[in-house]
Amino acid sequence: MTKTLLLFFFCIPVFAIGQEKLITLQASVDSAFANNAMLNQSKAIMEQKRDAWRTLTGIEAPEISYFEEGMSSSAVKPFEERRWTVSQTFDFPLTTIYRMKALQHETRAMAYQIQARRNDIRAEVKSRYIDILYALHLKELGKQQKVLADELYNAVYTKFETGMGNGIDLIKAELQLAEAENFQSEAERMLHIGRYSLFRVMGLKIPEIDYSIQFSDTLKNEDVEVSQITALSVLHEQPEYLAAMAEFEAAQNKIREAKSNILPDIRFNLYKQNYGNGYKYNGFELGLSIPIWLPFEQRGEIKMAEARQTEVEWQQKGIEQEMKERIEQAWHGYVTSKQVIDRYNTTISAKSARLQQLSLEAYRLGEIDLMNLILSQQTYLKNQNAYLEALHDFYLQLVQLEKYLNVELVY
C-alpha cells in the first residue's frame, strides 16, 4: 500500500467556512464516540466483566460459630465442651481456574466488539459527512444546469423574437429551465437529509443544531494500491472475527468448568475447644461434597455449555463469510469508481465542456437545431453528474476499506 496524497474531496470550492460554526470530519467522529449509546453501554458492560472475577472466585464468606455440648446444672462440670469454629467453603480449584479463564476470554471478546463498534461508528460518520459534501456539490451542479438552461432559453427566445425560431423550441427551453430548478430542489432535499443524519449519529442535542453549521470541504484520501488478495488476507484480523474467536474459547472453558463440577467442593473447619479447663485444644474438619445429582444438575450444565460452543462456532463461520463478502464488495467498488474518475479527468471533462460550448455557438449561428444543442448540454451535465456519483462512491468505499485494512484512508 502506498500512502500518496491523491486529491481533495472535490476540485471546486462551494462555500465559505465560518470557523465558529465549522464541524470537521474528525470533530464529527469524536462527537459520535462520546455520545453513542451502544458504544458507551458496551464499555460499561466490559467494566463489569473486568471486576466480575471478584465474585467468581468460588470462595464463600467464612462462617464463625459458637458451640456448647453436654450442658448441666451441676456446678462441678456445667458443660462437656465449648467450641469456637471458623468454617470456610470453596470450589474445587480447577473449577475456579476454568471459570476465570472463561471470564478473561469474554472480557477480551467484549473489547473486540467495542473496537468493531468504533470502526462502524467511524465509517457511518464519515459516510454521512461525504453524503453532505456530495449534496452540496450537486447543488453546485444544479446551479451550472440552471445557467446552461438560462443560456438555452435566451438563445431560443432571441431567435423567436427575430422570427427565426418557433413556439415549440421555446416550450422545450422552458422545460429545460424547470428541470434545472427541480434538480436544485432535489439536491437541497438530499442536503437536509444528510445534515440531520450526521447530527443524529454525532448525538447532537436539538439546541446544538443550527442551520449556520458548515462543513469542511478539504477531505483528503490515501491512494490505495493493494491487491484483492491482500485485502482478503486481513479477514482473520477483523475485530468481529477475533471477538467470535474469544467467545469460542470462553465457551470451551465453560465446558471444562461444567465438567469440573463433578469434582467435589471443599469445606474446611477450624476449632478452638474447651473441655472445662480453658481453650487449650484445637481441631479441624475437612469435608468434600459428593455430586450425587450428577445426572441432573452437572450434566445439564455440561449440555448447555456444549450447545453454547456450537452456537458460537456457527456464529464465527457466519461472520467469516459475511466479512469476506463485505471486503470484496468494498474493494471492487473502490476500483470501479476510481476508473470512472480517472476517465473523467483524462478525457471526458474537457471534451464534454468543449462540446457544450461549440454546440451553443453553432445553434446561435443556425448550424444545428435545438435538439442537438439540448443533447450536448445534457451530455455535459450527465458526465458531470456521473463524475460526482463516482467520486461519492469512491470515498464511501474507501471508508469501508478503512475498517478492514486498519489504516485511515479518508481524513
Question: With helix as H, strand as E and coil as C, how does the chain read?
Answer: CCCCEEEECCCCCCCCCCHHHEECHHHHHHHHHHHCHHHHHHHHHHHHHHHHHHHCCCECCCEEEEEEECCCCCCCCCCCEEEEEEEEEECCHHHHHHHHHHHHHHHHHHHHHHHHHHHHHHHHHHHHHHHHHHHHHHHHHHHHHHHHHHHHHHHHHHHHHCCCCCHHHHHHHHHHHHHHHHHHHHHHHHHHHHHHHHHHHHCCCHHHCCCCCEECCCCEEECCCCCHHHHHHCHHHCHHHHHHHHHHHHHHHHHHHHHHCCCCCEEEEEEEEECCCCCCEEEEEEEECCCCCCCCHHHHHHHHHHHHHHHHHHHHHHHHHHHHHHHHHHHHHHHHHHHHHHHHHHHHHHHHHHHHHHHHHHHHCCCCCHHHHHHHHHHHHHHHHHHHHHHHHHHHHHHHHHHHHCCCCEC
More reliable by pLDDT, 77 or 318: 318
Average pLDDT value for residue range 363-369: 82
Q: Is the pLDDT of residue 302 over 80?
A: yes
- Give the position of cell 456519483: 389
The whole-model pTM stands at 0.79
For the purposes of burial, counting CB atoms within 10 Å of the CB of 288, is it exposed (0-12), middle (13-18) or buried (19 or more)? exposed
Average pLDDT value for residue range 127-149: 91
CA 23/CA 28 separation, integer angstroms: 7
Q: What is the pLDDT of residue 226?
A: 58
Q: What is the pLDDT of residue 349?
A: 83
Q: What structural domains and CATH numbers belong to the chain?
A: 5-405 (1.20.1600.10)
Least confident residue range of 14-18, 362-366, 391-395: 14-18
Q: Is the pLDDT of residue 139 over 80?
A: yes
Question: Ranked by mean pLDDT, which of 119-123, 294-298, 342-346 comes out on top?
Answer: 119-123
Q: Are 64 and 239 in contact (CB under 8 A)?
A: no
Q: What is the pLDDT of residue 18?
A: 43
Q: How does residue 10 score in pLDDT terms, banded at 50, 70 and 90?
A: very low
Q: How does residue 104 score in pLDDT terms, banded at 50, 70 and 90?
A: very high
Q: What is the pLDDT of residue 231?
A: 62
- Residue-wise pLDDT for 56-81, tens only, equals 888 888 889 988 887 877 666 777 78
Q: Is the pLDDT of residue 284 over 60?
A: yes
CA 64/CA 245 separation, integer angstroms: 45
Tell me the pLDDT of the chain averaged across its residues.
Answer: 83
Q: Pairing mode, if any, of strands 22-23 and 214-215?
A: parallel
Average pLDDT value for residue range 157-176: 81
Q: Is the pLDDT of residue 115 over 70?
A: yes
Q: Tell me the percentage of the chain whose pLDDT exceeds 90.
A: 24
Q: How does residue 2 score in pLDDT terms, banded at 50, 70 and 90?
A: very low
Give CA separation, 53 vs 91, 114, 177, 273, in Å: 14, 20, 71, 36
Q: Are 407 and 1 in contact (CB under 8 A)?
A: yes
Q: Is the pLDDT of residue 4 over 60?
A: no
Q: Is the pLDDT of residue 26 over 70?
A: yes
